Structure 1
């Protein structure tokens, strides 16, 4: 689980989280992150990453 996935799930209002002040780290309750539906939502978001084809790299 990466911080990008967590941020996206928070932005989508799937994972409840709070910030005390802007730019502060999010505060997430352990019970929220361990919910079965939350784990499934995070795993589904991770699977949607685009495939990167390494054969199309430019060589400079």
Structure 2
């Protein structure tokens, strides 16, 4: 997964300077929403005990 994240960051670094303010704002909103949803999912898994069970199985 690390390589995929690295590729995404490199792509963003290339296109960010050529984006206009609207595109940058839209992207930031999308990124913030995805991060909030991911955090909420992680919290839900932790509260339900799923995260603990996954660690035990690993």
Shorter-chain TM band: 0.3 to 0.5
Q: TM-score, normalised by structure 2?
A: 0.38
Larger radius of gyration: 2
Q: TM-score, normalised by structure 1?
A: 0.37
> Which protein, 1 or 2, shows the higher relative CO under an 8 Å CA cutoff with sep ≥ 6?
1
